Amino acid sequence: MTASGKHILIIDDEENLRHMLSAMLSRQGYLTDTAANGAEGLQRLRDKIYDFVLCDIRMPEMGGKAFLAAALENRVASPVIMMSAYGTVDTAVECLTLGAYDFISKPFKKDEIEMVLKKAEERERLREENSRLRAVVAGTNGFSGIISRNSAMTDLFSQIRKVADLKTPVLVLGESGTGKELIARAIHDASRRFAGPFVAVNCGAIPENLLESELFGHRRGAFTDASSDKTGLFDQADGGTLFLDEVGEMPPALQVKLLRVLQEEEIRPLGASASHTVDVRVVSATSRNLEADSRMGRFREDLYFRLNVFTVQLPPLRDRIDDIPLLVDHFVARCAETMERSPVRVSPEVMRRLMGYGWPGNVRELENVIERGMILCEGMMTEACLPDALRYAAGVAEADEDLSIKRAEDAIERDLIRKALLKTGGNRTQAARILEISHRSLLYKLKEFGID
């Protein structure tokens, strides 16, 4: 029995049917009211909020379609289920397109009406669940779209709130996928500049010879391909925030120019005869160890000090596993929304796996695992929906534990190789060195594990 005190309004001009339905639904635990036509039905809706309305189509006074239209116009939230007798099916279908929830053909059997109501209840429950999750996501569990209740992260949030309004440059550090870009946006959104532009540039993704004109702009004719003036990103970000992503990849020649811009708050586009002032807050990010880079001369030390007035160090996901259930909820709800399906439940075994895994790709990897899982699973996310790396991850003890040494070793190896590649930015020779295996056997393993 599922009814548990749900309120149902029955609208039908046939007294017998009203009584029959009312008695039947009451026996199942529903609380019922009745009305003899649409007009009376609207009256009832003014006094009470019903979980569902069952409404006949052909009635004197006010018919079902007119009732539905009026209810929708008055923004009545109760789902209306139409009851269509012989000859009114077309109208019932029309009602569906108007916004009726469902329809059932008369005469119906007892279990048919039960089914329709049960289905409606389930759908409503999911809708509520969805909006609850959305509220959770939007509300107290984080800061500006960054989901976290981990204490190190909430400390970061309060630091960010303090620094946001100043023009102080912020350097965001963290492994790949820890949320550096989200933090940069959050700083912008929390600042007085929030209404101004937020402009992001990946310094590692633009060819060296183009980066300068990207950042500072150029005048027509400044170089061979400069057929017209170009506004640089600094100008585009005027009054707002410029996010220099992967700033550690910036070529040395440009590091000097960037330093000058930051010191003087003026830019000179390529080929321009004069410089002009810009008002830009710079947030930069890198997954490299910029301090070490600057000590070893790979990154200008003076620029490092300039960018690094205020540091935000994002902890890797493996150091904040208390956030994993929250993030899983968040990604499940988001996927459900984009895939237009109901959110799934995550089995306790899966949650245990997720919390025991090392997450070399951090939150982005978790996001991908959930998305993949949502595609593969139905209703419940089980271990079968997890990628091999997680299914055979070491260190998770269980009743049906996989005792294969080979698979466990493979999982560990795969994990270490991924980490080494991440650390070396994909450089295989360096990765092989820290893994203490030969370059050749690394290549072999990459192939074996399908890592690219």
Tokens of 75: 């923004």
Tokens of 320: 């904040």
Q: By the 8 A CB rule, do 207 and 322 touch?
A: no
Residue 199 pairs with which residues in a beta bridge? 242
Tell which one of 102, 181, 229, 293 touches Mg ion (CB under 5 A). 181
Residue 2-41 contact track with ligand ATP, rule CB under 6 A, x = bound: ----------------------------------------
204 touches Mg ion (CB under 5 A): no
177 touches ligand ATP (CB under 6 A): yes
Residues 259-318 that bind ligand ATP (CB under 6 A): 287
Measured from the CB atom, is 212 or 245 closer to ligand ATP? 245
287 is in the binding site of which of Mg ion, ligand ATP, none (Cβ under 5 to 8 A by kind)?
Answer: ligand ATP
Distance CA 133, CA 426 (A): 37
Q: How far is the CB of 181 from Mg ion (least distance, A)?
A: 4
200 touches Mg ion (CB under 5 A): no
Measured from the CB atom, is 199 or 346 closer to Mg ion? 199
Residue with tokens 């030969």: 438
Measured from the CB atom, is 35 or 317 closer to ligand ATP? 317
Q: Which residue is nearest to ligand ATP (CB)?
A: 179
Residues 137-176 that bind ligand ATP (CB under 6 A): 146-148, 174, 176
Residues that contact ligand ATP, how many (by CB under 6 A): 17
Distance CA 99, CA 89 (A): 15
Q: How far is the CB of 334 from ligand ATP (least distance, A)?
A: 9
Nearest to 327 by CA among 178, 198, 222, 107: 178
Measured from the CB atom, is 363 or 381 closer to Mg ion? 363
367 touches ligand ATP (CB under 6 A): yes
Measured from the CB atom, is 197 or 315 closer to ligand ATP? 315
Distance CA 179, CA 77 (A): 38
Distances (CA, A) of 210 to 270, 317, 346: 11, 35, 47
Distance CA 191, CA 168 (A): 11
Tell which one of 161, 364, 372, 391 touches ligand ATP (CB under 6 A). 364
Q: How far is the CB of 183 from ligand ATP (least distance, A)?
A: 7
320: exposed, middle or buried (Cβ count in 10 Å: 0-12, 13-18, 19+): buried
For residues 422-449, b (16+ Cβ closer than 10 Å) or e, as one string? bbbeeebeebbeebebeeeebeebbeeb
Instruction: Kindly list the residues in this chain that would bind Mg ion in the complex (CB under 5 A).
Output: 181
Instruction: Kindly list the residues in this chain that would bind ligand ATP in the complex (CB under 6 A).
Output: 146-148, 174, 176-182, 287, 327, 330, 363-364, 367
